[in-house]
Amino acid sequence: MYGIAIAENSYTNFILLMKTHFELKYPLGLGGVAIGTGFEPLSDEESYHILETAWNQGIRYYDTSPWYGLTKSERRFGDFLRQKSRDEFVFSTKIGRLFDAVDEADVPPTMWKAPLAYDFRHDYTADATARSIEESLSRTGLDHIDIVFVHDLSEDQVGDRYDYYLQQAEKGAFRLLSDYRDQGIIKAWGMGVNKIEPILDCIRIADPDICLSATQYSILEHEDAVDRLLPVVREHGVKLVSGAGFNSGYIGGRERYNYKDVIPKGMAEKRARIAAIAQQYGTDLIAAAIQFVLAADEFVSIIPGASRPGQVLDNCRAIQSSISHDFWKELKHEGLIYTQAQVPGV
């Protein structure tokens, strides 16, 4: 087939050759949780200014989900991006939940501070995946989606129904998304989850291209990902996008950690010590956090969200700032980052 001979033990390489080899060339993107009112209510005008600032700073990768704000974030991204030339940016969104309009009184309790009036349910079948993509295109007004992430298919979101939904996705969403990719309807797909195991499971049973790894790899917490996740994605040619690389704002000074109010024991001291060392070397924690993630070969992009334009400007400055290699050596010497983790310049 296609002139490719499948040698013994080379099935994985064959699958890689058959993929579209989509490359995400934008190391800094913009995530959509905050614009979906994940932490505080934001007006349409405030959200527009955040997106406008990102665009004016040269950011060209935008990630959102219909889950964020119960479709609010996706609509806001679309209102802004459909004014732009479609070949100038990369857009990713997610499948895994279906949304139905309800009365205001019937909106279920969620993390969103000002959601739209929708109820939702998890569904990873092929039909639900196709419907979700069609509805995302309708909400955004865009003519295509570049990357589709299978969202929140993990035990922290679906509980003890994880095995059930994984089997559903294996027969449904995974196959459909691979077919859409092979037809050129989308450019790439993968998991978008907060845990390592679902990415490993997906790679074992399907052929994803790129996965959104949220809360799994940051300057504060990365050992498990270094040991278990990165070797597998590297072996299979799967790339990673970093979501919640600031541990949902904790690195930036917020008193929440990975979307929860409970801060892990010892984390405040760790954050303070890294920040103090950063100051000694003329940098700051935001710059260190962004550059640490992108130093790992497996991560092609980091997509911090923003609740105000100034945060976008801070992120753009941070990715370009110069950090002494001695800073990273000192962090490793003090045991503040894992000795096996890649750091800039190495």
- Encode pLDDT of 152-193 as tens digits: 999 999 999 999 999 999 999 999 999 999 999 999 999 999
- Encode pLDDT of 20-46 as tens digits: 568 999 999 999 999 999 999 999 999
Cβ atoms within 10 Å, residue 182: 13
Per-residue pLDDT, averaged over 91-106, amounts to 98
Q: What percentage of the chain reaches a pLDDT higher than 90? A: 93
- Encode pLDDT of 262-300 as tens digits: 999 999 999 999 999 999 999 999 999 999 999 999 999
**Which pLDDT value is given to residue 102?**
98
Tell me: pLDDT of 17 over 50: no
34, two tokens = 């905050």
CA-closest candidate to residue 180, choices 126, 138, 143, 139 = 126
**Which pLDDT value is given to residue 345?**
85
**Which pLDDT value is given to residue 20?**
52
Q: Are 190 and 112 in contact (CB under 8 A)?
A: no
Tell me: pLDDT of 15 over 50: no
**Which pLDDT value is given to residue 2?**
25
Mark 165-177 as b/e (b = at least 16 C-beta within 10 Å): bbebbbebbbebb
Per-residue pLDDT, averaged over 57-68, amounts to 98
Question: Catalytic one among 61, 68, 180, 250?
Answer: 68
- Domains, in order of start, for the chain: 27-332 (3.20.20.100)
Give the whole-angstrom CA distance, residue 28 versus residue 139.
25
DSSP assignment of 236-299 equals HT-EEEEESTTTTTTTTT-S-BTTBSPPPTTHHHHHHHHHHHHHHTT--HHHHHHHHHHHSTTE
Tell me: pLDDT of 229 over 90: yes
Q: What confidence tier does 346 reach under pLDDT thresholds 50, 70, 90? A: low
Cα dihedral sign, 130-27-249-227: positive
Q: What confidence tier does 302 reach under pLDDT thresholds 50, 70, 90? A: very high
pTM of the model: 0.94
Does the annotation count 164 as an active-site position? no
Tell me: pLDDT of 4 over 60: no
Tell me: pLDDT of 9 over 90: no
Give the whole-angstrom CA distance, residue 39 versus residue 34.
6
Tell me: pLDDT of 116 over 50: yes
Give the whole-angstrom CA distance, residue 118 versus residue 107.
6
- Encode pLDDT of 232-257 as tens digits: 999 999 999 999 999 999 999 999 99
Tell me: pLDDT of 10 over 80: no
